[in-house]
Amino acid sequence: MNYDFSEQELDRIIEMAWEDRTPFDAITFQFGVSEQETIEIMRRELKPSSFRMWRKRVQGRHTKHSKLRSGKLMRFKSTRQKTISGNKISKRS
């Protein structure tokens, strides 16, 4: 699949996919990319060993899959994390 993402958007998708606490639903909401499409992007963009390590880590992880989460959502936000509003990433001032 060929997506029309800027380098910055592609970097953000990879960063969000790599973060343990960011669910695939958040990537879908912000970029319109399904979980399977995210996996394909990661396979294409990462070194094979990095992809295997990432895939092994996220497979079945409760924080990455909203269906596996309990009713209570635990939110974590680093002080270095950028604010996201809708489909845009807000710039720090």
Domain boundary assignment for the chain: 7-89
18-47 per-position pLDDT tens digit: 988 888 999 999 999 999 999 999 999 999
Q: What does the pLDDT read at residue 65?
A: 60
CA distance 19 to 57: 11
The candidate with the shortest Cα–Cα distance to 28, out of 93, 89, 87, is: 87
Between 58 and 71, the higher pLDDT residue: 58
Percentage of residues in the chain having pLDDT higher than 70: 66
Q: Which of 40, 38, 2 is nearest to 23 (CA)?
A: 38
Segment 68-85 mean pLDDT: 55
Residue 5, pLDDT > 70, answer yes
